[in-house]
Amino acid sequence: MPIYAYTGLTARGRAVSGVIDADSPKGARLSLRRTGIFPTAISEEQAAPAASPASTPGGLTRRFERVPARELALFTRQLATLTKAGLPLVECLGTLIEQLERAPLKRVLSHVRQQVREGRSLADALQSHPRVFSSIYINMVRAGEESGTLETVLARLAEYSEDQARLLRAVQSALTYPLLMVAVAGAILLFLLAYVVPQVTRIFSETGGKLPLVTRLLIGLSSFLAAYWWLFLLAGAGGALGGLRLLRTTAGREWYDRAVLRLPWVGRVLQRLSVARVARTLSTLLGSGVPLLSALGIVTHLVSNSLLRRALEEARTSVQEGESLAAPLKRSGLFPALFTQMVAVGERSGELEGLLTRAAEAYDEEVATALARLTSLLEPLTILVMGGVVLFIVLAILLPIFELNQLVH
pLDDT digits (tens, 9 = 90+) for 123-144: 899 988 888 888 888 888 888 8
For residue 386, what pLDDT is reported? 79
Residue-level pLDDT at 59: 41
Q: What percent of the chain has pLDDT over 90?
A: 9
Number of H helices, E strands in the chain: 16, 3
The per-residue pLDDT for 150 is 84
φ, ψ of residue 4 to 5 degrees: the values are -120, 135
Three-state SS for 406? helix
> Which residues have C-beta within 8 Å of that of residue 50, sequence separation ≥ 6?
124, 127, 128
Burial of 241 (0-12, 13-18, 19+ CB in 10 A): exposed
Query: Residue 52 pLDDT > 60, yes or no?
Result: no
- Hey, how many other C-beta atoms are within 10 angstroms of the C-beta on 307? 20
Label residue 65 by pLDDT band (50, 70, 90).
Answer: low
Single-letter code of the amino acid located at 7: T
Report the first-to-last Cα separation within the chain, whole angstroms. 94
Burial of 351 by CB count in 10 Å (0-12 exposed, 13-18 middle, 19+ buried)?
middle
Q: Which pLDDT band holds residue 45 (cuts at 50, 70, 90)?
A: low
Least confident of 91-95, 208-212, 251-255, 263-267: 208-212
Q: Is residue 406 over pLDDT 70?
A: no
pLDDT classification of 409: cutoffs 50, 70, 90 = low
- pLDDT number for residue 48: 46
| pLDDT recorded at residue 342 | 92
CA 217 – CA 21 distance, rounded (Å): 70
Where does 7-149 have alpha helices with state H? 25-34, 69-84, 89-99, 103-117, 122-127, 135-147
Measure the CA–CA gap between 116 and 362, rounded to whole angstroms. 39
Give the pLDDT band of residue 46 (cuts 50, 70, 90).
low
Average pLDDT over residues 381-402: 81
Predicted confidence (pLDDT) at residue 357 exceeds the cutoff of 50: yes
Distances (CA, A) of 383 to 182, 185, 395: 9, 9, 18
Residue 238, burial from CB neighbour count under 10 angstroms (0-12, 13-18, 19+):
exposed
- Residue 392 C-alpha from the chain's centroid: 39
Answer yes or no: are the C-beta atoms of 146 and 294 closer than 8 Å. Answer: no
Neighbour count for residue 156 (Cβ, 10 Å): 20
User: In this predicted structure, what is the pLDDT of residue 165?
Assistant: 77
Residue 207's pLDDT is what?
A: 64
Sign for the pseudo-dihedral over CA of 82, 83, 88, 90: positive
Mean pLDDT over 48-70 rounds to 50
Residue 354 has pLDDT above 80, yes or no: yes
Sequence-distant (≥ 6) Cβ neighbours of residue 222 within 8 angstroms: 193, 194, 197, 198, 201
Residue pLDDT, tens place only, 74-92: 888 899 889 888 888 888 8
> pLDDT tens for residues 202-251?
776 666 667 778 878 877 877 787 777 788 889 889 988 988 888 888 88
